[in-house]
Amino acid sequence: MRTNLLLATCGLMLTLAGQRIFAQSDTVAPKSRLTVGGYGEAVYSRHFYSDNVFRYSFSDRYKDAGGYGRVDLPHAVIMLGYDFGHGWSMGTEIEFEHGGVEAATEKETEETGEFEQEIERGGEVALEQFWVQKSFSPYLNIRAGHIVVPIGMTNNNHTPNMFFSVYRPEGENTIMPCTWHETGVSLWGRAAAWRYEVQLLPSLNSNLFNDAGWINGGSASPYEFRPANGLSGAVRVDWTGIEGLRLSLSGFAGNSFNNDITTTIYPETSRYHGAKGTVVIGAFDFAFRNRWLTMRGNFDYGYLGDAALISSRNKNQTTMTGNPYPHTPVGERAWDASIEAGINLLSWSNSRQKLYLFGRYDHYDSFVPADGYTDVAWAERQLLSCGINYVPIPEIVIKAEGGLRMLDSQYNNEPWVAVAVTWTGFFKH
């Protein structure tokens, strides 16, 4: 009798325990395959210098200008990703720059009912990433579609929590596309402290190069497609063998001449015959971070072959209405260097909050001329700034910065202040 009672009691306990286990397992949601994220910035800035287009040509006229203020939404980005399983995944990134574009067609009652097309708000909408990936192992992944080109520091770390300044670092943002995105193929992987990436991409378009931004506009296309008469390559290697430290090398190479909507075959008698417009970029960047100190820096150097011929070709482009090309020479070389450092004033506390006091220095030149061309002195600039970054939670950064852009002595220096609220978040649903 006692044995039967003991067995019945044990059976009841096991049954209740089993029911409890099953009930708990029913409430645990399976790991989601969908990733949702994004980032954004809202900025107010006050500039204590003239924004007139002739301020460098006739600097004396504008040395006492009162300046101007601006509000801006530099970037508002939505990211979506999905893991299909079996090593297959996809990712997208849609970016609204400066508030996007608000265009409308309206019927004007005051003007006999005629229809008018209006641009109510300037800006851009861009598909910055749209790719499919097959992962074979941590060491080998293949990604194809629209991808970020990881040249330099900013392109590979372009969310607002990855730099102290209110706007993206000025040097790289001037001489290279930023964020640089192309439709191509990427091979990448990780092994211990190393990460590598190799990309095959369409070449840049030398018709869109200029003196103020070197090759910055060369990845754009005013058409419904991207010319790809030639191909280029990009490579990046990161090392993270010491805790808190990252060292990176990256490079890009490819020809840029005759990569436009039409291909012009120059005869052997033409001065442009054989021109290639080879673009070569080499870059080094680093980041170091511990509880109380964060430092980042970079150096980029670029060379453009046949720069004199490309300058001549660009200056002779047609000037008919709607022509999307600049009509300026382009430098044979361009470079930039920057460093920033911030001290966390709340590092002594146990709070998750951070308050960085930072300083930053940029020095860059978007136009080092080819033989036969005069230097554009205002293209070389130095920028010194300082400010604070307050991080109440990891996803939010509130920024304040003041700086001075220093030009050649014949021009007026350019002081400014700016404040911003930014967010960066990645979520699972």
Give tens-digit pLDDT for 41-95: 999 999 999 999 899 988 898 888 889 999 999 999 999 999 999 999 999 999 9
pTM, full prediction: 0.87
Q: Which of 3-12, 58-67, 300-309, 373-382 has the lowest mean pLDDT?
A: 3-12
Q: Is 229 exposed, middle or buried (0-12, 13-18, 19+ CB in 10 A)?
A: middle
What is the per-residue pLDDT for 327? 84
Cα distances (angstroms) measured from residue 425 to each of 79, 393, 396, 404? 10, 11, 9, 31
Please check whether residue 6 lies inside any domain of the structure. no
Residue 6 has pLDDT above 50, yes or no: no
> Tokens 């090593």 label which residue?
87
Average pLDDT over the chain reads 88
Give yes or no for a contact between 301 and 335, defined as CB atoms under 8 angstroms apart. Answer: yes
Please check whether residue 295 lies inside any domain of the structure. yes
Please check whether residue 4 lies inside any domain of the structure. no
User: What gap in Å lies between CA 418 and CA 165, rounded to an integer?
Assistant: 9
Q: Is 10 exposed, middle or buried (0-12, 13-18, 19+ CB in 10 A)?
A: exposed
What is the per-residue pLDDT for 235? 98
Quote the Cα angle for 391-158-283, to 5°.
Answer: 125
What is the per-residue pLDDT for 20? 39
Q: CB atoms < 10 A from the CB of 108, how many?
A: 11
What is the per-residue pLDDT for 164? 98
Own/partner pairs for 222-227, CB < 8 Å, 24+ apart? Answer: 222/324, 223/261, 226/182, 226/183, 226/202, 227/202, 227/259, 227/260, 227/261
Please check whether residue 1 lies inside any domain of the structure. no
Which three-class secondary structure string do you get for 407-425? CCCCCCCEEEEEEEEEEEE
What CATH number is associated with residue 385? 2.40.160.10
pLDDT band at 266 (very low <50, low <70, confident <90, very high): confident
Span 29-41, pLDDT tens digits = 556 799 999 999 9
More confident residue, 382 or 99: 382
Structural domains in the chain (count): 1
What is the per-residue pLDDT for 16? 37
Per-residue pLDDT, averaged over 109-117, amounts to 56
Span 342-387, pLDDT tens digits = 999 999 888 889 999 999 999 999 999 999 899 999 999 999 999 9
User: What gap in Å lies between CA 403 and CA 414, rounded to an integer?
Assistant: 8
Residue 239 has pLDDT above 50, yes or no: yes
Q: Which of 14-18, 22-26, 105-109, 269-273 has the highest mean pLDDT?
A: 269-273
The residue segments making up the domain with residue 229 are 33-99+114-428
More confident residue, 150 or 11: 150
Please check whether residue 9 lies inside any domain of the structure. no
What is the per-residue pLDDT for 426? 84
**Mind giving me the DSSP string for 243-279?**
TTEEEEEEEEEEE-TT-SSS-----TTSTTTT---EE
Please check whether residue 182 lies inside any domain of the structure. yes
Per-residue pLDDT, averaged over 294-309, amounts to 97
Please check whether residue 24 lies inside any domain of the structure. no
What is the per-residue pLDDT for 99? 81
Q: Which amino acid is at 291?
A: R
Query: What percent of the chain is modeled with pLDDT above 70?
Result: 86
pLDDT band at 124 (very low <50, low <70, confident <90, very high): confident
Per-residue pLDDT, averaged over 102-111, amounts to 57
Cis peptide before 179 (omega within 30 of 0): yes
Tokens of 296: 């980042």
pLDDT band at 271 (very low <50, low <70, confident <90, very high): confident
Please check whether residue 204 lies inside any domain of the structure. yes
Q: Is 304 exposed, middle or buried (0-12, 13-18, 19+ CB in 10 A)?
A: buried
Per-residue pLDDT, averaged over 281-295, amounts to 97
Q: CB atoms < 10 A from the CB of 399, how many?
A: 24
Residues facing 90 on adjacent strands: 82, 132
